[in-house]
Chains A and B, each alone.
Chain A
Amino acid sequence: SYELTQPTSVSVSPGQTARITCSGDALPKQYAYWYQQKPGQAPVLVIYKDNERPSGIPERFSGSGSGTTVTLTISGVQAEDEADYYCQSVDSSNTYLVFGGGTKLTVL
């Protein structure tokens, strides 16, 4: 079955830039999406179609991709950005949705 791989954790100091990667064989052909989840809350979409930001999501959130790896970048990290982040995509048939294992972002 298709898998997306993320680092388990990323730590940054306030004001620095956090980069969270997600790798998958189908990513060159399928879009990636990113969700933020804070404890006890439902996930929130922060990036769609690789690099588009939904309304209401701060400009410091951006997405990019190169080959089989996509990256969520948070510029000028704030304490409120501490959360779990999940990438999501679909398999090569565009039928089965899959999530990465999640990355815990810690703001030091």
Chain B
Amino acid sequence: EVQLVESGGGLVQPGGSLRLSCAASGFTFSSYDMHWVRQATGKGLEWVSGIGTAGDTYYPGSVKGRFTISRENATNSLYLQMNSLRAEDTAVYYCARAPSCSSTSCYRYFDYWGQGTLVTVSS
């Protein structure tokens, strides 16, 4: 059974940093792309970052330069280092699995999600 368990959320002051973790199990972690998606209370979903099987990374403009996604295949772990946090980064952060790209196709979507961890940026 595929399981994704996020941790590391909490309360942080504006301008501060936080590191989220996602523990994966039930599948060959190194063979899948992994992503972070967030959702502010009462709002929609927002893609935050992605990392491919080769370690290639992707970010939307809203977090580029402030957030860093990384993975450790030996421990089946995904991370999100968040720096220079702002009030608008307050949200539940989900870890999500995505199919990896092949030489001929690349389908970017999320087939499994964790339950999320809450990040609150406030003074």
Asked if A94 contacts B44 (CB within 8 A), the reply is no
Q: Which of B7-15, B16-24, B79-87, B104-112 contacts A (4 or more CB under 8 A)?
A: B104-112
Asked if B45 contacts A102 (CB within 8 A), the reply is yes
A57 CB to nearest chain B CB (Å)? 11
Q: Is A10 an interface residue (CB 8 A)?
A: no
A97 to B113, CA, bound (A): 16
Chain A: interface residue total (CB-CB under 8 A): 25
Across the interface, B106 reaches (CB within 8 A) one of A41, A86, A94, A101, namely A94
Asked if B44 contacts A42 (CB within 8 A), the reply is no
Interface residues of B in 31-67 (CB under 8 A from A): 35, 44-47, 50, 58, 60-61
Asked if A86 contacts B58 (CB within 8 A), the reply is no
Across the interface, A1 reaches (CB within 8 A) one of B44, B50, B61, B110, namely B61
Q: Is B29 an interface residue (CB 8 A)?
A: no
Interface size class of B (residues with CB under 8 A): 20 to 34
Asked if B114 contacts A42 (CB within 8 A), the reply is yes
Asked if A97 contacts B47 (CB within 8 A), the reply is yes
Question: Which residues of chain B are within 8 angstroms of A42 by Cβ–Cβ distance?
Answer: 94, 113-116
A-B contact pairs, 25 of them (CB 8 A): A1-B61, A33-B109, A33-B110, A41-B115, A42-B114, A42-B116, A43-B45, A43-B110, A43-B113, A45-B109, A45-B111, A48-B109, A49-B107, A88-B45, A94-B108, A96-B58, A97-B47, A97-B50, A97-B58, A97-B108, A99-B44, A99-B46, A99-B47, A102-B44, A102-B45
Q: Told that A45-B110, A96-B58, A98-B47 touch, could you supply 12 new A-B pairs with CB distance under 8 A?
A: A1-B60, A31-B109, A41-B115, A42-B94, A42-B114, A42-B115, A43-B110, A48-B111, A99-B44, A99-B45, A99-B47, A100-B44
